[in-house]
Structure 1
Amino acid sequence: MNLALRLVATTALAGLLLTAPALSQGQFLDLAEGPSAAGSYLAGQEAMGELSTPNAARYFAQAAADEWDNPLVIHAAFVALAANGEIERSADSARRMLELEPTNQLAQLVIATEALKNRRYAAAIRDLDKLGSDSFEGITGSILRAWALIGDGRYSEAMGSLDKVAENGLEEFLVFHRAIMAEVAGDRAAAQDYISQAIEVDAFTADVVDAYARILANAGRFDEALDAIVAFEAQGLNHPIISALKTQLANRQRPTMFVDSVQAGAAQMFHSVGLAFAREGTTDISLVLERLAQYLDPRNDTIPIVIGQLYDGAGQHELANALYDGLPANSLLKPMATVRVADNLDAMGDRPEAIRRLSNIIATNPDDIDAISVLGDLLRADKQFARSADAYTQALAVTGGKSPADWRFYYVRGIAYERSDQFPLAEKDFLRALELNPNQPQVLNYLGYSWVDKGMNLDRGLEMIEKAIEGAPNDGYIIDSLGWAYYRLGRFEEAVGKLEEAALLRPADPEINDHLGDAYWRVGRKLEATFQWKVAYAMDTEGNVKKRIEPKLKGGLDAAPVSEDSAPVEPAPGDQAAAN
């Protein structure tokens, strides 16, 4: 079980921390003075659901001003303020929360974070003593308490306090934090021992590699530090901070510490836990944790990048861009942030400007792999396939084209070639992608279906799509590919079975429902076919499927023109077996 799942498993409330709960019996807003408090509360709920944190914080704060004795509203207010990065205002509301509900653990965590930020370590320890270690907040608070003990000069006690937390199955996670605690406390031997254990468990996470290389290099172990970076890069992984560190270590220069203060170390804890929740899709919890991390260590440029990604995932691109633009010009992550701003311009509807900015970035820095990759993707989305393929070719020239991670550049260049009717080049790229990543479902599906579509290598093509399904059994689009391949080969009964599976997984997809309708018609289930076509017609928002379905609804499948992608496949010589 990974870190986020372990933490979530500790409390049924973890997933409900940030979404303001609906009003329940005994918890109501007094409307005697008018609807303003209730209206603000409901507006705050809606804003928080959309991760529009400035609006959520504003609305909930307005509601709290009128409902200062209502714990439901105060809880919503302090959480929204934290999510918006207003930690000190959040702590003020959290103190009121504890007056109304003394056991609110999230409020205690926010208040203790403020105390630790201000080096009031004894106060932080007292606040955190009230938390147990069997809840999400309690586990997080226990690690924060250990950092407060480090700040209070109680290093041995801090390390011992983590033993109980480790009983929850978190020792692999904690060993990394023990390492950086030891480094901050000046126990270099213990730091080296702990970080060596950490990298054995997780050798390909940038923070672990970064900390390992710095701790060992500062002990004079430059070669071992460099070996870890080389192993990281051999997996096709890269990170601007790691690349800069590698250059520094190659010159035998001792680097700065991974974290140089209690505050930066505690921020790293919040950041690590926040990332774990983000990977599980728990965006709201992740956002509050990352904001607490940013409050404790505003110099850590990785944290605003992650917060920006969380906003991007919720469609809040303007909030994300404000964070990206706020990075210092000399930050190692500024080029990455600039690329994300351009990508967001496309998401907000200004693709020409996004392409222009990315082209300018690449002209200035021809080796900026992030900019090249995003430019290629935007050009491909814009159906500029030749330019897109050129961008991916440039990316492969930068990376060398030999690492496992390079499969993606061959794959997307293959798509660009295939869409521009250069299938021999596309086929070559897809096969190269599979050499680098033999079980990649998207590549297996794309090449397998392309072969079926062209009547080539039919047996191998179907095997590839089936293998893709093994790797992604819940991907309705890949299952649809196999069903539609069966349909094109005249194997209509098998097509129905697979297309029904795909429709269950993707019930709102008009293409899949249209395919299922055609298959039903071919096996004589004409009423069901008509129903599926009607569903597909109703769900199509772009109009492409509607145009294809209109003649079917009037006269059945036989009345519809046969399109290129629905025509029976004519097997190439030697490929007849798969069509039978």
Structure 2
Amino acid sequence: MAMVQVTQAQNAAHAKADGHHFAQNNRARIGSISGIARHALAAVLFCGTVLAAAPLHANGVAGDYLAARQASFAGDFKAAAEYYGRAVLYDPENPQILERAVLANVSLGDLDRAAGIADKLIAEGYRSQLAQMALIARDTRNENYEAVIGAINEQRGAGPLADGLIKAWAQLGMGDMTSALVSFDEVAGLQGLGAFARYHKAMALASVGDFESAAGTFEGDAGGMSRTRRGIMAQAEILSQLDRNQDALVLIDTAFGGALDPGLTQLQTALEAGETVPFSHVRSARDGIAEVFYSLAGALSSEDNDDLTLIHARLAQYLRPDHVDALLLTAELLDEMEQYALAVATYAEVPEDSEAYHAAELGRAEAFRQQDQMDEAIAVLQGLTESHGDLPIVHSTLADFLRQDERYAQATDAYTTAMGLFDEITEREWFLHYARGITYERRDMWPEAEADFRAALALNPNQPQVLNYLGYSLVEKQIKLDEALEMIERAVAARPNSGYIVDSLGWVLYRLGRYDEAVGHMERAAELMPIDPIVNDHLGDVYWAVGRKLEAEFQWKRALSFVDWENAAEEADPDRIRRKLEVGLDQVLAEEGAPPLRAAGVAQDGADDEG
């Protein structure tokens, strides 16, 4: 019947509105840098750029420049780099074009090309901090530490905070550990920057094998970067080098408890086995300078400045291509900036033998999904079930993608596999039952669906999504109506501004024949979701039921205007709406063999006992 189609459409819309149970990044941080340090970053990181706009001379350069600007505004770094590159050929001395070309190429990750353009900018006598950063990165990659120190001494560095740390690492690279330690201490003396300096000093000491001093430096730093995941793991490796595996295990347990990702699990297993874990976080001065840029990127990520964060992450990635945390941060930023093709490529750079490979593949699948490339996304996840099939999140994420792609039987199996991998199903796993219940409901397997929905509520009794979905489904099946109404009322109390849930309350009252009560709720749902075809269609039906027929017809016409014809199967039934406009709701109900409106509110004798 047509009403069943509408029910399935709204249930599909509800499922879509719930969002998806996608994987979260495994690089969880515990603690953050001080507020003073964060504000200092905003003040000092990017203060010496070229500001004056130079005139554009030829039609060719103007066209490429405008195209490049448009690409930059859209966040399309690849196109911006291409157009700015062409503009530079037309006008090779224009500082504005040169600097923007540097920015586009750094953002794209092409640091060699960025440094080449930066050479031209600096050679013309212009000061650009971004250009200087690109040149310092190139000199560092070439291990030309004398040039790095010279640039910083001549105030051609990467910024006040970065310069002190970079100089210290460059001094270490030249074999002058004494001067390096002095430089680290000088940075530590600056207000709010002690956490950065102590973290890097400890890393530097460990990189040259002075693990005792490194451990003491970390232990003297009660917060800041030493409390991040990366800092904890570095300390654990240092403690292991000192035959203090038990202390390392206590450190990990205190910081993370049982919430360990594969990398932490691998480290914990090695420590418990009595292995001496090598120090791997910083192996050279070049790694150390990469760590400076990564540290700043991590700090900037909390400042809602994706562009600056991306620049620093790209510099870290350039200096140390195997810096997996920098790769993941870069890919996540590109994802957030809707540069999904670049995100896919960056996630793919994480090697398969990395402990973060599964996180990268989950991210890559999500980036494919964002591009509507569901087959590619699902293929990535299916491959991950072969390499990391012991992780519940792999199967649950695959199930989410399959559910979105309407492969419900496969999704059911994937959710079942995910549940079987938990030692114990706890409150946190309510979503798995809920999502699997949706797949059963879409397959017309109602007893299994209801069992899963009720299992989800047993784990999380007041979860509004579950209350709404189960309550709405019971109403459409005309069973357990009193319980259904109570569920939906609880859902509305929890989410009074959810249009889908408010719509459910209005609709259940309509189905119960309580038309006057339904009007206010349906009007509220339409206010919350004014262009949703299902909500407008429902409001039209309610208006018709209370005799407001002109308003009903207006709402049905609105519903038709909002139908997404490419996904009409998940929208209000347009043919049914047109028929209502032709002959009215009463006649449509009669044609469908449904009870007339006047009888809709009659008590359903025995209905509440069904199921």
Task: Please tell me the TM-score bracket, short chain as reference.
Answer: 0.7 to 0.9
Matched, 1:119 2:119: no
Distance in 2 (alpha carbons) for counterparts of 1:379 and 1:552: 34
Against the structure 1 CA distance between its residues 449 and 130, is the aligned structure 2 distance closer, same or farther, given a 3 Å change threshold? farther
Q: 2:318 is matched by which residue type in structure 1?
A: Y
Aligned mate of 2:246, from 223, 226, 229: 223
Normalising by structure 1, we get a TM-score of 0.75
Residue in 2 that maps onto 1:387 = 410
Matched, 1:40 2:64: yes
Q: 1:72 is matched by which residue type in structure 2?
A: Q
Q: 2:385 is matched by which residue type in structure 1?
A: I
Q: 2:293 is matched by which residue type in structure 1?
A: F
Stretches of structure 1 that go unaligned for 5 or more consecutive residues are 470-475
Secondary structure of the structure 2 residue equivalent to 1:259: coil
Alignment of 1:294-305 (within 5 A): 294-305=317-328
Residue in 1 that maps onto 2:117 = 93
Alignment of 1:101-500 (within 5 A): 102-128=126-152, 138-151=160-173, 152-153=176-177, 154-163=179-188, 166-167=191-192, 176-184=199-207, 188-189=211-212, 191-196=214-219, 205-230=228-253, 234=257, 236-238=259-261, 240-257=262-279, 258-275=281-298, 277=300, 282-314=305-337, 316-338=339-361, 351-352=374-375, 354-355=377-378, 358-363=381-386, 365-402=388-425, 406-420=429-443, 421=446, 422-431=448-457, 433-434=459-460, 443-451=463-471, 454=474, 455=481, 456=483, 458-459=485-486, 461-468=488-495, 478-482=498-502, 484-486=504-506, 488-489=508-509, 490-493=517-520, 496-497=523-524, 499-500=526-527
Residue in 2 that maps onto 1:76 = 100
1:305 touches 1:324 (CA, 8 Å); kept in 2?
yes
1:132 touches 1:138 (CA, 8 Å); kept in 2?
no
1:40 touches 1:63 (CA, 8 Å); kept in 2?
yes
Against the structure 1 CA distance between its residues 200 and 138, is the aligned structure 2 distance closer, same or farther, given a 3 Å change threshold? closer
Distance in 2 (alpha carbons) for counterparts of 1:530 and 1:16: 57
Against the structure 1 CA distance between its residues 225 and 78, is the aligned structure 2 distance closer, same or farther, given a 3 Å change threshold? same
The Cα of 1:366 is off from its aligned counterpart by: 3.1
2:164 touches 2:183 (CA, 8 Å); kept in 1?
no
The Cα of 1:97 is off from its aligned counterpart by: 3.2
2:334 touches 2:343 (CA, 8 Å); kept in 1?
yes
Against the structure 1 CA distance between its residues 2 and 187, is the aligned structure 2 distance closer, same or farther, given a 3 Å change threshold? same
Determine which structure has more spread, i.e. the larger CA radius of gyration.
2
1:121 touches 1:149 (CA, 8 Å); kept in 2?
yes
Secondary structure of the structure 2 residue equivalent to 1:75: helix
Q: 2:520 is matched by which residue type in structure 1?
A: E
Distance in 1 (alpha carbons) for counterparts of 2:32 and 2:490: 33
Alignment of 1:522-533 (within 5 A): 530=554
The Cα of 1:557 is off from its aligned counterpart by: 8.8
Stretches of structure 2 that go unaligned for 5 or more consecutive residues are 1-30, 475-480, 510-516
Residues 131-176 of structure 1: CA deviation (Å, up to 9, x unaligned): 699xx95444554445445545323333333336543xx6566654
Q: 1:397 is matched by which residue type in structure 2?
A: G
The Cα of 1:376 is off from its aligned counterpart by: 1.2
1:410 touches 1:433 (CA, 8 Å); kept in 2?
no
Q: 2:451 is matched by which residue type in structure 1?
A: L
Against the structure 1 CA distance between its residues 227 and 281, is the aligned structure 2 distance closer, same or farther, given a 3 Å change threshold? same
Against the structure 1 CA distance between its residues 310 and 128, is the aligned structure 2 distance closer, same or farther, given a 3 Å change threshold? same
Q: 1:431 is matched by which residue type in structure 2?
A: L
Against the structure 1 CA distance between its residues 205 and 453, is the aligned structure 2 distance closer, same or farther, given a 3 Å change threshold? farther
Distance in 1 (alpha carbons) for counterparts of 2:582 and 2:380: 50
**More moved, 108-117 vs 77-86:** 108-117
Give the structure, 1 or 2, with the largest relative contact order (CA under 8 Å, sep 6 or more).
2
Residues 75-100 of structure 1: CA deviation (Å, up to 9, x unaligned): 11001111122213212322433455
RMSD across aligned C-alpha pairs, in angstroms?
A: 4.8
Distance in 1 (alpha carbons) for counterparts of 2:410 and 2:99: 52
Secondary structure of the structure 1 residue equivalent to 2:421: helix
The Cα of 1:293 is off from its aligned counterpart by: 0.6
Distance in 2 (alpha carbons) for counterparts of 1:571 and 1:204: 62
Against the structure 1 CA distance between its residues 62 and 121, is the aligned structure 2 distance closer, same or farther, given a 3 Å change threshold? same
Against the structure 1 CA distance between its residues 450 and 103, is the aligned structure 2 distance closer, same or farther, given a 3 Å change threshold? farther
2:47 touches 2:129 (CA, 8 Å); kept in 1?
no
Distance in 1 (alpha carbons) for counterparts of 2:195 and 2:604: 55
Residue in 1 that maps onto 2:512 = none
Against the structure 1 CA distance between its residues 203 and 298, is the aligned structure 2 distance closer, same or farther, given a 3 Å change threshold? closer
Against the structure 1 CA distance between its residues 479 and 357, is the aligned structure 2 distance closer, same or farther, given a 3 Å change threshold? closer
1:115 touches 1:123 (CA, 8 Å); kept in 2?
yes
1:551 touches 1:560 (CA, 8 Å); kept in 2?
no
- Identity over aligned pairs, percent: 23
Residues 473-496 of structure 1: CA deviation (Å, up to 9, x unaligned): xxx6x3542354255433533554
Distance in 2 (alpha carbons) for counterparts of 1:279 and 1:570: 58
Distance in 1 (alpha carbons) for counterparts of 2:603 and 2:231: 52
The Cα of 1:372 is off from its aligned counterpart by: 2.0
Aligned mate of 1:29, from 52, 56, 59: 56
Matched, 1:62 2:86: yes
The Cα of 1:292 is off from its aligned counterpart by: 0.4
Residues 491-528 of structure 1: CA deviation (Å, up to 9, x unaligned): 5335544653x34xxx7665566677778889979779
Secondary structure of the structure 2 residue equivalent to 1:39: helix
Residue in 2 that maps onto 1:473 = none
2:488 touches 2:505 (CA, 8 Å); kept in 1?
no
Residues 214-236 of structure 1: CA deviation (Å, up to 9, x unaligned): 22222222123223444566454
Distance in 2 (alpha carbons) for counterparts of 1:67 and 1:248: 58
Residues 418-469 of structure 1: CA deviation (Å, up to 9, x unaligned): 444333322244235538xx8xxxx433334533653426446534444356
